[in-house]
């Protein structure tokens, strides 16, 4: 069942028959970018699939003690936007994993294009079965991923497993608010079929049961709603950039945007920024 859901999620985020990198390059040309002299920041607006985009990434990164020797796992790495920011700003080494092979291919290509290939690695895989040894990373980083994962306990258990003792969790996720059904489609799902929003209590339990101590839990819903409303106004005014979410959502973009705004306005969805730390579990005592 898990494998079937993951296949549906992969299909939702990318069509393997479409040359996604070329599609992005064409959008960059429309924005007047010099394709032969691109810099990684030229992709801002496209390469982060979460609310408030780069602003949210910068904010969460500032809460971690990231150093050049820091090893980071980016679970749900997408096109690599957050990982490119982290390695450019802090110099850390990052492994990205994503269900979408298309996204991983594009992320690897851009890492080479911008000279980050010695610090960034991407591979296709499941966050419920991470291909890394125990205690491998200083930080596990994830943004807007668990909404597509039904088994929250399994997800956070895996993130905790690969963390070193005292390693840090950085999580920025959409969760359920009032408990009432949300309007679809939304960016992570066209229907309820691959959408699994946890309540705040369920999310907290999944994290703490994995042996992760929650150091901070910050509700960013009001900031997200203000950001969404501004983006919606720009779109209605005809100010949508070629290099933006519309590139992926296509004709659904307007409906998705409206649903996102309504879901947040009504309190049916919320977004939280979570910082946690792996605690060393005591040895089990068997009677």
Q: What is the pLDDT of residues 123-179, one digit of tens each?
A: 999 999 999 999 999 999 999 999 999 999 999 999 999 999 999 999 999 999 999
105-119 tens-digit pLDDT: 999 999 999 999 999
pLDDT at res. 242:
56
Q: pLDDT-based confidence at 287, cuts 50/70/90?
A: very low
Distance CA 114, CA 181 (A): 42
pLDDT at res. 282:
44
Cβ contacts of 228 within 8 Å, gap of 6 or more? 51, 257, 260, 261, 264
Q: Give the three-state DSSP class for 145.
A: coil
In this structure, of 9-13, 128-132, 245-249, 256-260, the range with the lowest mean pLDDT score is: 245-249
Exposure string over 72-109, b if 16+ CB within 10 A, otherwise e: bbbbbbbbbbbbbbbbbebebbbbbbbbbebbbbbbbb
Q: Which two tokens stand for residue 176?
A: 């359920």
232-252 tens-digit pLDDT: 998 888 776 656 677 778 788
Which is more confidently placed, 266 or 252? 266
Residue 286 has pLDDT above 60, yes or no: no
Mean local confidence (pLDDT), 40-63: 95
Burial degree of 179 (CB within 10 A; 0-12, 13-18, 19+): exposed
Residue 284 has pLDDT above 50, yes or no: no
Contact 214, 276 (CB under 8 A): yes
Q: In the chain, what are the domain boundaries?
A: 2-278
> How many alpha carbons lie under 13 Å from residue 39 in its C-beta half-sphere?
3
pLDDT at res. 243:
60
177-194 tens-digit pLDDT: 999 999 999 999 999 999
User: Model's pTM, two decimal places?
Assistant: 0.94
Average of per-residue pLDDT values in the chain: 93
Q: Give the three-state DSSP class for 224.
A: helix
Give the phi and the psi of residue 150 in degrees, each rounded to 5.
Answer: -75, -40
Write the Ramachandran bin of 158: left for phi over 0, alpha for psi from -120 to 50, otherwise beta.
alpha
Asked, as a colleague might, if the bond just before 185 is cis with ω within 30 of 0, I would say yes
Q: Are strands 137-143 and 71-75 parallel, antiparallel or unpaired?
A: parallel
Q: Give the three-state DSSP class for 21.
A: helix
Which is more confidently placed, 249 or 198? 198
Percentage with pLDDT > 70 across the chain: 94
Distance CA 148, CA 286 (A): 36
| CATH architecture assigned to 2-278 | 3-Layer(aba) Sandwich (3.40)
Residue 220 has pLDDT above 60, yes or no: yes
CA 233 vs. chain centroid, Å, equals: 24
Distance CA 267, CA 241 (A): 28
């Amino acid at each position: 069942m898990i494998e079937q859901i993951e296949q549906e999620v992969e299909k939702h985020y990318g069509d393997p028959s479409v040359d996604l990198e070329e599609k992005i390059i064409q959008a960059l040309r429309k924005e007047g970018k010099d394709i032969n002299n691109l810099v990684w920041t030229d992709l801002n607006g496209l390469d982060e699939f979460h609310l408030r985009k780069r602003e949210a990434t910068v904010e969460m990164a500032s809460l971690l003690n990231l150093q050049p020797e820091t090893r980071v796992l980016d679970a749900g790495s997408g096109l690599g936007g957050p990982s490119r920011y982290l390695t450019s700003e802090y110099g850390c080494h990052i492994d990205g994993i994503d269900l979408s092979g298309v996204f991983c291919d594009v992320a690897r290509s851009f890492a080479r294009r911008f000279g980050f290939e010695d610090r960034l690695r991407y591979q296709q895989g499941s966050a419920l079965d991470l291909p890394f040894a125990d205690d491998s990373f200083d930080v596990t980083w994830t943004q807007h991923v668990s909404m597509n994962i039904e088994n929250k306990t399994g997800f956070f258990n895996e993130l905790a497993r690969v963390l070193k003792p005292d390693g840090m969790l950085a999580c920025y996720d959409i969760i359920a608010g009032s408990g009432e059904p949300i309007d679809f489609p939304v960016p992570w799902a066209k229907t309820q079929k691959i959408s699994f929003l946890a309540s705040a209590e369920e999310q907290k339990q999944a994290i703490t049961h994995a042996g992760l101590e929650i150091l901070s839990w910050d509700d960013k819903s009001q900031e997200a709603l203000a950001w969404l409303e501004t983006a919606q106004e720009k779109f209605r005014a005809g100010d949508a950039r070629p290099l933006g979410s519309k590139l992926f959502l296509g004709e659904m973009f307007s409906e998705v945007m409206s649903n996102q705004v309504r879901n947040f306005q009504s309190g049916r969805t919320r977004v939280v920024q979570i910082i946690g730390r792996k605690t060393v579990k005591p040895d089990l005592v068997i009677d």
